[in-house]
């Protein structure tokens, strides 16, 4: 397998501009002869599907939800970054690029990140024109707020529902194309296989989740925008249905999987409270603009938070990272929370929690302003915990939230399988080992609105326009694989529910491959996962049939894939013997417990190649070359 990033030559600042000129075009009259399939309808998928249809391509878009508007981008709260410099506080494309590459602990490709920062400007223009109701100043100009890992204010937001509003913008653009007859939408459809012929992605096999009908869809190119794989950890901030099936099928068909161990744990989530719990809820990072994080100075302090005088509190982020304070990046804040809880200073049940306190902000800003800024988040917190954060500090704890790793893509966002493009969280490209807040929305929309519409055309223009037929052996083989797999899942009539396996896998990954990892913990996880997987295939219980709506079957297929992917996450974490970003190896830390990167041995992307069932995957390396950013030790002190 060859990893050619296809990064254009020339200075960083002009790479994308020059590349766009070098890309081949498909003439307007020929575009309609091509068929493109987009899997996923979140920010990346919906924006790509709409933009490609606008260009004139025939587009089919698939999502497992009952409507494309429900994709999990909808739940993103805080905001979207753009280097507009509207605040006149020293922002620039270069600064956004630099913050992002540094935030990712120098494990992302420079050229991709620079392009992302560059394109960020057009995204805001596009979204405003679509009617996204961003927050405004009294004069009518767009407002901004600050986010973690940056010292400028460049985050655009729509209350605590930025993801919702951006997604509705993309969904509306998509809906317009549906009405114009240029885009066919397939809701309640799940992709179960990728069709590959002559080494090119040529279509997908889907299951209609209502009727159970399995169909093949053929195309000239396939775009995967199916989100991250964090649900392997079971208790996460992801939507319940979020899954890795599409990217895992693609991996098994030959697309390399890059940096699977780069998984982000978000510092501010509502802590776990019971065994029946089905998911964790995020509290936006934007809250750290005004909320102060603290724990009691003394371990095991039994007093209520308001009874603890300021001198006996430890505002540990402000103490450890004075220049960024409560806005230290996510990986750093999460680890710091874990550390104080490990010291026995955590609060709430089981001592796994820290306070996020708005008492000072309430005095400084006043109740009205506080409500305007964070009202809906406070309300959400109150709904879940039955506590009023205007009166008592929130209790928060880190939770699995996002995956920086994903399918490997080149500068054109094409995977190692020609014709298979991967966008948004599903790819690995822009966030390195740690994503900064408000950058996921930016990347999803950059990929969908402004990158893939150019690069996909280039691919099509360079390929002979031939089509494969429904009875092609590759199509038949993909359909047969789906039928076999569905039959095996439905034959499972054991003693354990699928959910119990998912919970067990999740706990295992969280404990052995979560915020801190070590040779011992990872070796232990790698020893346990195959056994769990084997048990699943012998003792799981999947009721119902395949010819109807069967949510148990859907879940079983997704968990079966997580049971394989979980192993790759641990393997990648084991092989990366350094600490970088969200990947913290206990063996690689300094005296103060901060990460120690190893740029001599690990300044590369690790991309895994599937080599067949029961065989060890092969690890490939794409060296990361930094021309403009200097490889410094990240410091937020």
Q: How far apart are CA 414 and CA 412, in angstroms?
A: 5
Instruction: Please select the residue that binds other proteins; options are 18, 22, 32, 210, rule is CB under 8 A.
Output: 210
Least distance from other proteins to the Cβ atom of residue 276, Å: 5
Instruction: List the alpha helices (DSSP H) in 131-231.
Output: 162-179
Stretch of 68-76, 477-485, 509-517, 557-565 contacting other proteins, by CB under 8 A: 68-76
Instruction: Please select the residue that binds other proteins; options are 142, 463, 474, 631, rule is CB under 8 A.
Output: 142
Q: Are 421 and 224 contacting, i.e. CB atoms less than 8 angstroms apart?
A: yes
How much is the CA Rg of the chain, to the nearest whole Å?
Answer: 24
Burial class of residue 637, CB neighbours in 10 A (0-12, 13-18, 19+): exposed
CB atoms within 10 A of CB 214: 16
Q: Which two tokens stand for residue 262?
A: 């780069």
The yes or no reply on residue 165 touching other proteins (CB under 8 A) is: yes
Q: Which is nearer to other proteins, 139 or 531 (CB)?
A: 139
Q: Which two tokens stand for residue 68?
A: 């494309």
Q: Which is nearer to other proteins, 175 or 259 (CB)?
A: 175
Instruction: Please select the residue that binds other proteins; options are 227, 241, 506, 514, rule is CB under 8 A.
Output: 241
The yes or no reply on residue 67 touching other proteins (CB under 8 A) is: yes
Q: Per the residue annotation, which of 207, 330, 395, 533 is the catalytic one?
A: 330
Instruction: Please select the residue that binds other proteins; options are 106, 114, 134, 421, rule is CB under 8 A.
Output: 134
457-477 burial, b if ≥16 CB within 10 A, otherwise e?
Answer: bbbbeeeeeeebeeebebbee
Using alpha carbons, list the distances in angstroms from residue 312 to 297, 351, 383: 5, 18, 30
How many residues can be counted in the chain? 637
Locus of tokens 């934007």? 286
Q: Is 330 a catalytic residue?
A: yes
Per residue, what are the HEC states of 205-242? EEEECCCCCEEEEECCEEEECCCCCHHHHCCECCCCCC
The yes or no reply on residue 49 touching other proteins (CB under 8 A) is: no
Residue ranges in 255-314 that form contacts with other proteins under rule CB under 8 A: 273-274, 276-279, 281-282
Stretch of 189-197, 303-311, 382-390, 392-400 contacting other proteins, by CB under 8 A: 382-390
Instruction: Please select the residue that binds other proteins; options are 125, 391, 586, 590, rule is CB under 8 A.
Output: 125
Instruction: Please select the residue that binds other proteins; options are 117, 201, 336, 380, rule is CB under 8 A.
Output: 380
Q: Which residues contact 448 (CB under 8 A, 6 or more apart)?
A: 43, 44, 45, 46, 47, 48, 49, 50, 51, 170, 225, 423, 424
The yes or no reply on residue 137 touching other proteins (CB under 8 A) is: yes
Q: Which two tokens stand for residue 435?
A: 């994503």
Q: Which is nearer to other proteins, 182 or 576 (CB)?
A: 182
Least distance from other proteins to the Cβ atom of residue 460, Å: 18
The yes or no reply on residue 319 touching other proteins (CB under 8 A) is: no
Instruction: Please select the residue that binds other proteins; options are 133, 199, 344, 366, rule is CB under 8 A.
Output: 133
Residue ranges in 82-121 that form contacts with other proteins under rule CB under 8 A: 84, 86
Instruction: Please select the residue that binds other proteins; options are 15, 70, 266, 435, rule is CB under 8 A.
Output: 70
* Total chain residues near other proteins (CB under 8 A): 80
The yes or no reply on residue 66 touching other proteins (CB under 8 A) is: yes
Least distance from other proteins to the Cβ atom of residue 474, Å: 32
Q: Are 431 and 117 contacting, i.e. CB atoms less than 8 angstroms apart?
A: no
Q: How far apart are CA 272 and CA 451, in angstroms?
A: 39
Stretch of 5-13, 125-133, 257-265, 360-368 contacting other proteins, by CB under 8 A: 125-133
149-179 burial, b if ≥16 CB within 10 A, otherwise e?
Answer: bbebbbbbbbbbbbbbbbbbbbbebbbebbe
Q: Which is nearer to other proteins, 545 or 611 (CB)?
A: 545
Residue ranges in 338-377 that form contacts with other proteins under rule CB under 8 A: none
Least distance from other proteins to the Cβ atom of residue 129, Å: 4
Phi, psi of 15, rounded to the nearest 5 degrees: -55, -50
Burial class of residue 275, CB neighbours in 10 A (0-12, 13-18, 19+): exposed
Q: Are 64 and 207 contacting, i.e. CB atoms less than 8 angstroms apart?
A: no
Q: Which is nearer to other proteins, 136 or 213 (CB)?
A: 136
Least distance from other proteins to the Cβ atom of residue 169, Å: 9
The yes or no reply on residue 450 touching other proteins (CB under 8 A) is: yes
Q: Which helix (H) or strand (E) holds 23?
A: none
Residue ranges in 497-536 that form contacts with other proteins under rule CB under 8 A: 497, 499-500
Least distance from other proteins to the Cβ atom of residue 88, Å: 12
Instruction: Please select the residue that binds other proteins; options are 15, 19, 31, 69, rule is CB under 8 A.
Output: 69
Sign for the pseudo-dihedral over CA of 523, 103, 290, 137? negative
Least distance from other proteins to the Cβ atom of residue 87, Å: 12
Q: How far apart are CA 545 and CA 558, in angstroms?
A: 17
Least distance from other proteins to the Cβ atom of residue 371, Å: 12
Residue ranges in 556-595 that form contacts with other proteins under rule CB under 8 A: none
Locus of tokens 């519409």? 453
Instruction: Please select the residue that binds other proteins; options are 131, 366, 462, 530, rule is CB under 8 A.
Output: 131
| Of 472, 457, 589, 573, residue with least CA distance to 520 | 573
Binding mask 401-440 for other proteins (x = CB under 8 A): ----------------------------------------
| Of 420, 412, 417, 424, residue with least CA distance to 458 | 412
Least distance from other proteins to the Cβ atom of residue 271, Å: 11
Residues with active-site annotation? 330
């Amino acid at each position: 397998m060859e990893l050619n990033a296809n990064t254009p030559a020339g200075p960083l600042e002009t790479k994308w501009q020059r590349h766009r000129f070098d890309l081949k075009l498909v003439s307007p009259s020929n575009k309609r002869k091509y068929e493109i399939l987009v899997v996923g309808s979140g920010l990346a998928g919906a924006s790509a599907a709409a933009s490609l249809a606008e260009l004139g391509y025939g587009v089919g878009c698939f999502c497992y939800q009952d409507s494309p508007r429900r994709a999990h981008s909808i739940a993103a709260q805080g905001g979207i970054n753009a280097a507009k410099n509207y605040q006149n506080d020293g922002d620039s494309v270069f600064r956004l690029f630099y913050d992002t590459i540094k935030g990712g602990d120098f494990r992302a490709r420079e050229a991709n990140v620079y392009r992302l920062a560059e394109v960020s400007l057009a995204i805001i223009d596009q979204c405003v024109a679509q009617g996204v109701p961003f927050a405004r100043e009294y004069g009518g100009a767009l407002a901004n707020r600050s986010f973690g890992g940056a010292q400028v204010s460049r985050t655009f937001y729509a209350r605590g529902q930025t993801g919702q509003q951006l997604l509705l913008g993309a969904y509306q653009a998509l809906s317009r194309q549906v009405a114009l007859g240029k885009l066919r939408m397939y809701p309640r459809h799940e992709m179960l296989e990728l069709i590959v012929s002559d080494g090119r992605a040529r279509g997908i096999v889907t299951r209609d989740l209502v009727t159970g009908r399995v169909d093949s869809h053929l195309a000239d190119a396939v775009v995967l925008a199916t989100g991250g794989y964090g649900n392997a950890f079971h208790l996460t901030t992801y939507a319940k249905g979020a899954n890795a099936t599409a990217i895992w099928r693609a991996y098994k068909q030959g697309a390399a999987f890059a940096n699977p161990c780069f998984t982000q744990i978000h510092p501010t989530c509502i802590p776990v409270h019971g065994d029946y719990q089905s998911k964790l809820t995020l509290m936006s990072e934007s809250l750290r603009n005004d909320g102060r994080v603290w724990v009691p100075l003394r371990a095991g302090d039994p007093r209520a938070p308001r009874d603890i005088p300021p001198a006996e509190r430890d505002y540990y982020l402000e103490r450890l990272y004075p220049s960024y304070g409560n806005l230290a990046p996510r990986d750093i804040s999460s680890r710091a929370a874990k550390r104080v809880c490990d010291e026995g200073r955590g609060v709430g049940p089981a001592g796994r929690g820290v306070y996020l306190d708005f008492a000072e902000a309430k005095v400084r800003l006043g109740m009205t302003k506080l409500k305007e800024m964070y009202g809906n988040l406070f309300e959400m917190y109150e709904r879940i915990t039955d506590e009023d954060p205007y009166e008592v500090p929130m209790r928060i704890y880190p939770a699995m939230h996002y995956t920086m790793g994903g399918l490997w893509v080149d500068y054109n966002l094409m995977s190692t399988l020609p014709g298979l493009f991967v966008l948004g969280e599903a790819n690995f490209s822009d966030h390195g080992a740690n994503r900064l807040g408000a950058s996921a929305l930016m990347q999803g929309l950059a990929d969908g609105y402004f990158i893939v519409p150019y690069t996909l055309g280039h691919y099509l223009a360079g390929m002979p326009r031939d089509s494969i037929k429904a009875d092609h052996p590759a199509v038949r083989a993909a359909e047969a694989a789906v039928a076999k797999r569905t039959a095996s899942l439905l034959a499972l009539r054991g003693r354990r529910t699928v959910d119990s396996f998912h919970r067990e896998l999740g706990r295992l990954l969280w404990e052995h491959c979560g915020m801190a990892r070590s040779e011992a913990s990872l070796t232990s996880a790698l020893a346990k996962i195959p056994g769990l997987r084997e048990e699943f295939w012998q003792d799981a219980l999947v009721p119902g049939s395949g010819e109807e709506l069967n949510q148990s079957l859907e879940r079983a297929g997704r968990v079966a894939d997580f049971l394989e992917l979980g192993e790759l996450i641990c393997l990648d974490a084991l092989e990366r013997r350094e600490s970088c970003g969200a990947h913290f190896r206990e063996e690689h830390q300094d005296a103060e417990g901060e990460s120690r990167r190893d740029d001599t041995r690990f300044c590369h992307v690790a991309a895994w190649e599937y080599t067949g069932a029961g065989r060890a995957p092969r690890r490939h390396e794409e060296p990361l070359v930094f021309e403009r950013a200097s490889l410094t030790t990240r410091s937020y002190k």
